Structure 1
Amino acid sequence: MLPIAFHPIYKHPLPEGHKFPMLKYDLLPQQLILQGITEESDFFAPEIVDLKYVLAIHEKNYVDSLLNLTLDAKAQRKIGFPLSAELVERELRITKGTISGCEKSLQTGISFNIAGGTHHAFSDRGEAFCMLNDQAISAQYLLDKNLAKKMLIIDLDVHQGNGTAEIFQKNSKVFTFSVHGRTNYPFRKEESDLDIALEDKTSDDDYLKIINEFVPKLINQEKPDFIFYLSGVDILATDKLGKLGCTIEGCKKRDEIVFSNCNKFEIPVQVSMGGGYSPEIKTIIDAHANTYRVAADFYF
């Protein structure tokens, strides 16, 4: 079955406006079990990550300011959450979940982090609800442990993975690929190895044509031995923070393209959930659950 890191519940009170998006982390595991996509035994609760792996990506001064709760008010506003010990612990556990998932992917072919996808975290700062870049830390972990030699990060969240792009801009062992909305946040984009910026209201047909072309093309071109997939569902037309025009079915087909190619080329893949902010929580949960359902069809 699918090895999935359970999202550690964020216990610190959230400001109004942030409570609703966080509900999905509690509801999604329940939905996956209810629909028979997963079982209780598929989930594991991550420990706190060893800081040496975090410091391989993030600058020490920044990490220290998180751990000591000394991050200044301006930096906290950029992140979007009030800093607390519980929040920092949550980030450390999410990161460990992705690292542990990578190890499981090497054994089973695929793993998921029910949270993660914190691609707006730069080497020296956090932004947009992202404090530590879980997939970047995990990619460096695989390199340092000689568990992989070349990686492809497929970032299909509606927002560009600007932090991930900055972190790996001079690292030829990690190829960063981002398909995102041109007019979406971040308004100042970083330079990934390949960026494809889409116009507002891009339809399923146009979106899927791009994914279907570039995913196998990049696998053949870069020959990665490990893939990270950021499977944000904020590409939906209903999303409050996205501007594309994709449907739930189109989002599901996107996942099929990614997983079919990972499976075909026998490349282990770690999946982090990323964004999803549609007005109805059911829409978010259904779209995320589809990602797991599609993976189960290909791998189990």
Structure 2
Amino acid sequence: MLPIAFHPIFKHPLPEGHRFPMLKYELLPQQLIHEGIAQKSDFFEPEIIPIETVLRVHTKQYVSDLMDLTLDPKAARKIGFPLSKELVERELRIAQGTIIGAEKAFETKVAFNIAGGTHHAYSNRGEAFCLLNDQAISAQYLLDNKLAKKALIIDLDVHQGNGTAEIFQKNDNVFTFSTHGKTNYPFKKETSDLDIAFDDNTSDDEFLKTISTIVPNLIEQQKPDFIFYLAGVDILASDKLGKLGCTIEGCKKRDEIVFQNCERYEIPLQVSMGGGYSPEIKTIIDAHANTYRVAKDILL
């Protein structure tokens, strides 16, 4: 079984520039089913998350402004999407999908969210297409419900998980680890528990050497009983919003390193997809599908 949270394609009209990135959420499930990596029964559509669960991570004022669509115009512009009731509802479902996946992962070893990876959402604001921080909400949920004592967030997207770092800056029960492009957005970085900033055009060799050393060391040192993995494929050299030089094969090897260590240490994990903005949609789908292919080969 490969539990996968699926969210219907965002139907509210979007400006032309936003439509292409959203297409992967529709095409990726089709590709996984076509290849036999997943079956229709593996997918589940989450309900809307209880607001009190969101408030364990996000401030009451921010959540209220989102729900009522009363965000300050300047704050709304930082999000990047036109704010709407449909958009907020979709984010609430994404967050619930990550929670349900995390719960399922205790039985299945791994669970996925087709969307998610909204790591630029701070406790009191959203930015860069992120309204609510799905993995942060889920990590706090596991702690609150005594399902985990220590969570490790492994964020290997090309952009720093700045919102995640801010949310857990004073929480010793969640260790935040982010690798990212040194000159990429966000230009003002927050301080994660561990940050590694790569130079432009960093190759597979350097990237993978770093990951293969740090991931097992962190698991040994932090001894987490749950791992959240943000598996953005914007580390590819072809990515329009990334500046690294990784290949599709290197991106796949990155996933292998994470999954192999979770298997070795017997730690359940939840995976959110994060970014991916290569010019050709087939590149994005293939890179994201690799994450599922590797998980099935190693963990199931």
Separation of aligned partners in 1, 2:108 and 2:149:
19
Structure 2 residue ranges without an equivalent (≥5)? none
| Residue aligning to 2:101 | 101
| 1:58-91 Cα deviation digits (max 9, x unpaired) | 0000000010011121111100001100000000
Q: Does the 8 A contact of 1:237 with 1:245 survive in 2?
A: yes
Separation of aligned partners in 2, 1:202 and 1:178:
16
| Residue aligning to 1:201 | 201
202-211 or 12-21: bigger deviation: 12-21
| Residue aligning to 2:273 | 273
| Residue aligning to 2:8 | 8
Q: Does the 8 A contact of 1:9 with 1:90 survive in 2?
A: no
| 1:235-289 Cα deviation digits (max 9, x unpaired) | 0000000000000000000000000000110000000000000000000000000
Q: CA deviation at 1:8?
A: 2.8
| Residue aligning to 1:136 | 136
| 1:183-206 Cα deviation digits (max 9, x unpaired) | 000000000000000000000000
Q: Report the TM-score, using the length of structure 1 for normalisation.
A: 0.99
Separation of aligned partners in 2, 1:137 and 1:199:
31
Summarize the alignment of residues 81-92 of structure 1 with structure 2, pairs less than 5 Å apart: 81-92=81-92
| 1:2-41 Cα deviation digits (max 9, x unpaired) | 0000023211111121100000000000000011111100
Summarize the alignment of residues 1-300 of structure 1 with structure 2, pairs less than 5 Å apart: 1-300=1-300
SS in 1 for 2:23: helix
SS in 2 for 1:18: helix
Q: CA deviation at 1:181?
A: 0.2
Structure 1 residue ranges without an equivalent (≥5)? none
Q: Does the 8 A contact of 1:5 with 1:43 survive in 2?
A: yes
Separation of aligned partners in 1, 2:284 and 2:35:
15
Q: Give, as a single letter, the amino acid of the residue that structure 2 aligns with 1:180.
A: H
Separation of aligned partners in 2, 1:162 and 1:194:
12
SS in 2 for 1:31: helix
Q: Does the 8 A contact of 1:200 with 1:244 survive in 2?
A: yes
Q: Give, as a single letter, the amino acid of the residue that structure 2 aligns with 1:197.
A: A
Separation of aligned partners in 1, 2:96 and 2:172:
24
Separation of aligned partners in 1, 2:135 and 2:55:
14
Separation of aligned partners in 1, 2:61 and 2:147:
28
SS in 1 for 2:17: coil
Q: Give, as a single letter, the amino acid of the residue that structure 2 aligns with 1:132.
A: L
Separation of aligned partners in 2, 1:248 and 1:214:
21
When the two chains are superposed, the root-mean-square deviation of aligned CA atoms in Å is 0.5
4+ runs of 1 displaced by more than 6 Å? none
Separation of aligned partners in 2, 1:31 and 1:7:
15
Separation of aligned partners in 2, 1:215 and 1:299:
17
Separation of aligned partners in 2, 1:35 and 1:106:
26
Separation of aligned partners in 2, 1:22 and 1:73:
23
Total equivalences in the alignment: 300
